Chain A
Amino acid sequence: MAQARLDRNEQINGWAFIMPAMVLLGIFMIYPILWSLWMSFQVGRGNAFSFGGLANIQRLANDALLLQALSNTIIFFIIQVPIMIVLALLFAVALNDATLRLRGIFRTLLFLPCVTSLIAYSSLFKSMFSNDGVINQALMGLHIIDAPIPWLTDPFWAKIVIISAITWRWTGYNMIFYLAALQNIDKSIYEAARIDGIPAWARFCKITVPMLKPVILFTTILSTIGTLQLFDEVNNITQGGPGNGTLTLSLYIYNLTFRMMPSFGYSALVSWVIVLIVAVLSVIQFFIARDRRRTT
């Protein structure tokens, strides 16, 4: 009897503690997600919409801009994420060496970009990459280029600006994760490998990287979500241009909803495309993680 009352108490308290969060998540997350599913089948402008059947899906199939946004996002992802992760790993390994002097200062300086807001640093980058700006001046001064590069007016170079900006902002952030994980690796493994005469690069590939696999996977997932969310930088530096060369999925949805003729139904459908992409990527990452666990 007393036990039953105790159990009931546990149940009541368990729900009571999580209730405020659950109510808010229900209103501001679950409900919008479900509603956007229903809205995906609505057509019309602004707040006046009606059932449109599969009209939105037809529009989706012929949407060249969506395709462009999707391919830009994929390009950002495929090029930027590996560069950033390799750099972060290199810095982390270099800074993990206890005999290195000034490592505290190096760590702080490399991490510093993380304190800037996405809007503040993208405004900075926009001013640095102007046509006669400091970057072109420096590259010409060093005789790397002869004429200024049209950073912000050429679709290709604009992508490079965005990629460098994101890499600047997030490399130190990833590095901190790797540093923390490196500190948990047993030093005697390296000791043994060194005594066996295994060279440094092999120790890096055969010990460090496999030991860090879970953290690398975790940061890759974070970066994947980050890339799909990419908005602040492109909206502030290039506004998706030139020629939609830096249009991202988030920016496209924003434009669809708030800049062009607002059609909430179609934007909702495009939102669901993102949800589907995230779901597929999560499943892929889950299987990669599982395979690795099996082989090691």
Chain B
Amino acid sequence: MNSYVLKRGLTYALLSFAAFLSVFPFFWMVVGATNKSTDVVTGKLSPGDNLITNFQNLASQVDLVRIFGNSFFIAIVSTVLTLIVSSLAGYGFEIFRSRVRERVFQLLLLFLSIPFAALMVPLFVLISRAQLNNTFAAVILPTIASIFIIFYFRQATKAFPHELRDAARVDGLKEWQIFLFVYLPTMRSTYAAATIIVFMGAWNNYLWPLIVLQTNENKTITLVISTLTAAYTPDYGVILLATVLATLPTLIIFFVLQRQFVAGMLGAVK
């Protein structure tokens, strides 16, 4: 019994310590947003009274409405287009099988492990030649056909009941109507989970927007944070306030839709 209590205590101690380490940077971020930069770099742990000043400094350096507007626009348009294109493909691969398309799918899985770094140089040349440099289209277009999301929808479609499709066919519905009116409503939770992953990915995307968005008025909040951090004398109060603002949308999504959030992360292995 004693060793049981000891083991229990040890488990709680380990988990509490890990939870503390997990949460501390969040605490740090919020406290830091209210402090002067000099207090942040000397490790002040109590809230200060510099929040308003930090906000004014941030707002004077960047057009916040515009920057957040850019981030939301890119993330929402990417999410909608990615879900349409990739769910169509996932559905198509699973429902209409043929040997050739099966080979194509296997080829896609092979491409899944190619890192983006290997693509960015030719992609940049391509975008420049198409004169799409410094446009939102340049950010969005290459992300729409996501192999990962296609794979995710194909896996999910395996659970789509065949009887539903057969019944709809007997009723004389065309294939696109079956997809739109039968499949889509049935797979709501799959779409919800996929929305979360794609939105998060687009909201947090950094490397590709960094390459193709050059002018200040087109930048996203992620790019702004990295520019502020790279300054010769970074103002950490301002930076931490910006990270609070940038993290809020995903944090809210996480707490409101926690179940779908985790389901989305797990999606591909099921």
Chain A residues with CB under 8 Å of chain B are 9-11, 13-18, 20-22, 24-25, 27-33, 35-36, 39, 47, 87, 90-91, 94-95, 97, 100, 105-106, 108-128, 130-138, 168, 172-173, 176-177, 180-181, 200, 215, 218, 221, 225, 228-229, 231-232, 235-236, 239, 249-250, 253-254, 257-258, 264, 267-268, 271-272, 274-275, 278, 282
CB-nearest residue of chain B to A121:
B25
Known: A94-B11, A177-B266, A250-B207. A18 touches B25 (CB 8 A): no
Q: Determine which of B25, B45, B85 lies in contact with A125 in the assembled complex, contact meaning CB atoms within 8 Å.
A: B25
B91 within 8 A of A: yes
**Within 8 Å CB of B175, what residues of A?**
9, 13, 16-17
CB-nearest residue of chain A to B252:
A115
A266 to chain B minimum Cβ distance, whole angstroms, is 9
Are A127 and B26 in contact, with the CB atoms below 8 A?
Answer: no
Are B115 and A264 in contact, with the CB atoms below 8 A?
Answer: no
B62 within 8 A of A: no
CB-nearest residue of chain A to B261:
A115
Known: A39-B121, A133-B43. A113 touches B113 (CB 8 A): no
**Within 8 Å CB of A215, what residues of B?**
269
Known: A176-B266, A253-B120. A13 touches B114 (CB 8 A): no
Are A33 and B23 in contact, with the CB atoms below 8 A?
Answer: no
**Within 8 Å CB of A180, what residues of B?**
266, 269
B151 to chain A minimum Cβ distance, whole angstroms, is 11
**Within 8 Å CB of A232, what residues of B?**
206-207
Are A257 and B121 in contact, with the CB atoms below 8 A?
Answer: yes
Are A225 and B115 in contact, with the CB atoms below 8 A?
Answer: yes
Are B204 and A94 in contact, with the CB atoms below 8 A?
Answer: no
CB-nearest residue of chain A to B125:
A264
Are B125 and A24 in contact, with the CB atoms below 8 A?
Answer: no
**Within 8 Å CB of B121, what residues of A?**
36, 39, 253, 257, 264, 267-268, 271
- Measured in the bound complex, the distance between the Cα atoms of B146 and A160 in whole Å is 33
B86 within 8 A of A: yes
B193 within 8 A of A: no
B141 within 8 A of A: yes
Chain B residues with CB under 8 Å of chain A are 7, 11, 14-15, 18-19, 21-23, 25-26, 28-29, 32, 40-43, 45, 84-86, 88-89, 91-93, 95-98, 101, 104, 108, 110-111, 113-126, 128, 141-142, 144-145, 147, 150, 175, 179, 200, 203-204, 206-207, 211, 222, 225-226, 228-230, 234, 236, 239-240, 243, 246-247, 250-251, 253-254, 258, 262, 265-266, 269
CB-nearest residue of chain A to B228:
A123
Are B122 and A32 in contact, with the CB atoms below 8 A?
Answer: yes
- Measured in the bound complex, the distance between the Cα atoms of B145 and A29 in whole Å is 9
Are B118 and A271 in contact, with the CB atoms below 8 A?
Answer: yes
- Measured in the bound complex, the distance between the Cα atoms of B111 and A122 in whole Å is 28
Known: A126-B229, A239-B230. A134 touches B28 (CB 8 A): yes
- Measured in the bound complex, the distance between the Cα atoms of B240 and A114 in whole Å is 18
- Measured in the bound complex, the distance between the Cα atoms of B11 and A95 in whole Å is 9
**Within 8 Å CB of B253, what residues of A?**
115
Q: Determine which of B11, B43, B126, B206 lies in contact with A100 in the assembled complex, contact meaning CB atoms within 8 Å.
A: B11
- Measured in the bound complex, the distance between the Cα atoms of B114 and A14 in whole Å is 26
- Measured in the bound complex, the distance between the Cα atoms of B21 and A267 in whole Å is 39
Are B117 and A28 in contact, with the CB atoms below 8 A?
Answer: no
Q: Determine which of B41, B92, B144 lies in contact with A14 in the assembled complex, contact meaning CB atoms within 8 Å.
A: B92
- Measured in the bound complex, the distance between the Cα atoms of B126 and A295 in whole Å is 48
Q: Determine which of A14, A18, A125, A272 lies in contact with B118 in the assembled complex, contact meaning CB atoms within 8 Å.
A: A272
Q: Would you mind naming 25 contact pairs between A and B with Cβ atoms under 8 Å apart? A: A17-B92, A18-B101, A18-B104, A21-B89, A29-B142, A30-B111, A31-B122, A33-B114, A36-B122, A39-B125, A94-B11, A112-B26, A113-B22, A116-B250, A120-B247, A121-B25, A126-B229, A127-B32, A134-B28, A173-B265, A177-B266, A236-B229, A253-B118, A254-B120, A278-B113
**Within 8 Å CB of B126, what residues of A?**
27-28, 31-32, 35
- Measured in the bound complex, the distance between the Cα atoms of B111 and A130 in whole Å is 40
- Measured in the bound complex, the distance between the Cα atoms of B22 and A221 in whole Å is 24
A77 to chain B minimum Cβ distance, whole angstroms, is 13
**Within 8 Å CB of B113, what residues of A?**
221, 225, 278, 282
A81 to chain B minimum Cβ distance, whole angstroms, is 15
